[in-house]
Amino acid sequence: MAETKSAKAVSGGKAAPKKKTSAKKTAAAAPACTPKKILFVGAEVMPFAATGGLGDVMGSLPAALRAKYGEAADVRVVVPLYESVAPEIHASMKTEAVFNVKLAWRQQYCGILSLVKDGVTFYFVDNEYYFKRGKLYGHFDDGERFAYFCKAVMEMLPRIGFFPDVLHANDWQSALSVVYLHTEYRQRMGYENIKSVFTIHNIEYQGQYTFDILQDVFDISPQHTPLMAYDGCINLMKAAIECADRVTTVSPTYAQEIMTPTYSHRLHFVLARQSGKVSGILNGIDTTYYDPASDKDIPVHFTADDPTGKAACKLAFQREYALPEDADAPMIAVISRLAAHKGIDLIVRVLRHVLDTHPKAQFVVLGTGEGEYESYFYQLEKDYPDRVRSFILYNRALSKKIYAAADIFLMPSKSEPCGLSQMIACRYGTIPVVRETGGLYDSIKPYFENEEGMHGNGFTFANYSPDELEERVRAALSLYGDRGRFAELRRRAMVTDFSWDASAAKYMEMYKGM
């Protein structure tokens, strides 16, 4: 929606200017049939192995580029081959190459497997010692695991016969691929013309390590210490920001926010110095996967034009989870990691009050996270047994049932690089109440009415304050009481364009301009 406005504010002001003419020239000079070769590098990808939003983006942006540009976009993706990849998918993969990766004094096995989905080739880096483990991250040797992964990505290129025009790395786990390209591989044949993009999905996780492992684990010569160093330690994200040709983040507003100490987790000094190459492009969602008109995880289908099935989804949910069956009871939902920075601390401070003053309202939460919040929601269900359901787990199918059943969706994050849940909620006709930050600000516009009619697609507030959240939740509940108007706002939310189309075009424009 207002994404264009903010996009101008960031990329128009900073990233684009100097290169614009040359960008145009390159695009014009290149014959239409030369495909742009893009290699996405990252630690997770949907539907193969994912824990969060990064996986959604890695799983849907490449396919969106391919769908939009066809043969003109040769888009490939490389991720580790985790244990959690389903055996039948693993069995369907083709072996592309087998070799050893040298990382400092280590020589490690590396298999490159591949499969093609939606016109995108996915490569999987196979090394069971590093990746055959229960969870994707959170191991004592994550630094070494992802250093190995990044070296393997560099080493696989000649072996699979694919040198991309753009290496597009995502978050700290793939930061070293950009660093290795810059410090070492660009001097080698085939790598000279590879440009790099580094996308920050969340600046909080930077990959910080002590200096003593620079050579031994990361295989980086001490001459590069100034490049790698930040705040007295090795900082992989900082190094990638320095080395990449372009740095992007997942919404225009977040691109501005991370220039400030409040949001930067201390990286604003580096980003400010590099601001000329930083811009923000809003994520989209996979609108085929998240489609209430055909979603097989929800009991009754519905559309913006015919939303009657939505009430049936609510009744079915109430029946299944033993809540009073009442299509008129407003249902408030939270689907989130239960962490303070997601605004759960604000929710906790207002929820009982809201429930006590709106005796018909029902509340559903889905997610896991900090123990304090998990206990809070367990207790809340005990205290309101016929009004609250707390699912302290994560389950994608259940999440979609909740999006389809609920009326109001709370997402009052302290910071939110992009956020996908607010978009999914809209798509399923559930009105978001969000704080105006990052991608929430860029995707959800405040409801109001004037002589021209209704505006916006949700409820928003500016300050990280429980009072402001409570006031907006009450406003949403009060609008819920006005059937016609609530239905109109619901329709507006459902027809908001959250597809990748516009953003895929922005990425392509950036790749071409490099």
Q: Verify binding: residue 250, ligand GLC, rule CB under 6 A.
A: yes
- 53 or 111: CB nearest ligand GLC: 53
Distance, CA of 437 to CA of 442 (rounded, Å): 8
Q: Verify binding: residue 416, ligand GLC, rule CB under 6 A.
A: yes
DSSP H/E element including 431: strand 431-435
Provide the sign of the torsion angle of the four alpha carbons 197, 507, 205, 133, taken in this order. negative
Q: Verify binding: residue 54, ligand GLC, rule CB under 6 A.
A: yes
Q: Verify binding: residue 252, ligand GLC, rule CB under 6 A.
A: no
Closest C-alpha among 41, 48, 60 to residue 286: 60
Q: Verify binding: residue 166, ligand GLC, rule CB under 6 A.
A: no
What's the min distance (Å) between Cβ of 288 and ligand GLC?
A: 18
The residue with its CB nearest to ligand GLC is 53
What's the min distance (Å) between Cβ of 337 and ligand GLC?
A: 9
Give 211's Cβ-side CA count (13 Å radius). Answer: 13
Distances (CA, A) of 116 to 190, 336, 362, 476, 508: 24, 31, 44, 44, 21
- 111 or 417: CB nearest ligand GLC: 417
What's the min distance (Å) between Cβ of 162 and ligand GLC?
A: 25
Give the count of residues interacting with ligand GLC (CB under 6 A). 14
Tokens of 18: 């100097």
- 170 or 390: CB nearest ligand GLC: 170
Determine the interface stretch with ligand GLC among 90-98, 351-359, 410-418, 456-464 (rule: CB under 6 A). Answer: 410-418
x/- track of binding to ligand GLC for residues 421-440 (CB under 6 A): ------------------x-
Q: Verify binding: residue 110, ligand GLC, rule CB under 6 A.
A: no
Q: Verify binding: residue 202, ligand GLC, rule CB under 6 A.
A: yes
- Answer for the pair 347, 412: CB distance below 8 angstroms, yes or no: yes
**DSSP assignment of 57-106, as one string?**
HHHHHHHHHHHHHGGGEEEEEEEE--TTS-HHHHHT-EEEEEEEEEETTE
Tokens of 420: 């996908």
Q: Verify binding: residue 417, ligand GLC, rule CB under 6 A.
A: yes
- 202 or 460: CB nearest ligand GLC: 202
- 196 or 253: CB nearest ligand GLC: 253
Q: 278 forms bridges with which residues in the sheet?
A: 247
Q: Verify binding: residue 344, ligand GLC, rule CB under 6 A.
A: no
Q: Verify binding: residue 206, ligand GLC, rule CB under 6 A.
A: no
- 52 or 158: CB nearest ligand GLC: 52
Distance, CA of 448 to CA of 60 (rounded, Å): 33
Q: Verify binding: residue 201, ligand GLC, rule CB under 6 A.
A: yes
What's the min distance (Å) between Cβ of 342 and ligand GLC?
A: 9
Tokens of 97: 């190459």
Tokens of 490: 């619901």
Q: Verify binding: residue 444, ligand GLC, rule CB under 6 A.
A: no
List 42, 53, 367, 429, residue binding ligand GLC (CB under 6 A): 53
- CA 214, chain centre distance (Å): 29
Distances (CA, A) of 443 to 6, 33, 101: 11, 35, 43
List 419, 456, 458, 513, residue binding ligand GLC (CB under 6 A): 419
CA triple 165-169-171, angle to 5 deg: 165
- 1 or 229: CB nearest ligand GLC: 1
- 35 or 52: CB nearest ligand GLC: 52
Burial of 200 (0-12, 13-18, 19+ CB in 10 A): buried
Determine the interface stretch with ligand GLC among 77-85, 207-215, 416-424, 494-502 (rule: CB under 6 A). Answer: 416-424
Distance, CA of 473 to CA of 275 (rounded, Å): 37
Which residues would be at the binding site for ligand GLC (CB under 6 A)?
A: 52-54, 57, 201-202, 250, 283, 416-420, 439
